[in-house]
Amino acid sequence: MFETLPALIIKFLKFGIVGFSGLVLDFSFTYLVKEKLRWNKYLANSLGFTIACVSNYFLNRIWTFRSADPSIALQFSKFLLISLGGLILNNLIVYLLSEKAQLNFYVAKLCAIILILFWNFSFNYLYTFNR
């Protein structure tokens, strides 16, 4: 079930690359919809998150984890649930570090992103894309 450490590190790096592509998609669509189309900022933010999440799922399914699981809907549901959990934890970490620990907001956000990267990878590796 478990892979060699080098294989796991390669998957983690691929997961990080996919995550970065999702970040670019999220920010790009959020900006386009909020600033250019003048939609509500929360609707724009939700759309950006959703587009990035769908893209990240398929890229991770095909490239990172090379999954051939035929139950795509169930697998995507797991991925989305983990992503939403990560989003909630991200906001909690940002709140605790910026409001309670008095760290700079962007330092807190960077810490949250790094911690949630490990959360997302671990749960997707062990749960979503587990063979």
Q: pLDDT by residue (tens digit) across 80-120?
A: 999 999 999 998 998 999 899 999 988 988 899 999 999 99
How many whole angstroms separate alpha carbon 30 and alpha carbon 44?
A: 5
Distance set, CA 30 to CA 41, 108, 114, 120, 131 (Å): 8, 21, 22, 22, 34
State both tokens at 21: 């592509």
Q: pLDDT by residue (tens digit) across 47-63?
A: 999 999 999 999 999 99
The pTM of this model reads: 0.89
pLDDT of residue 106: 87
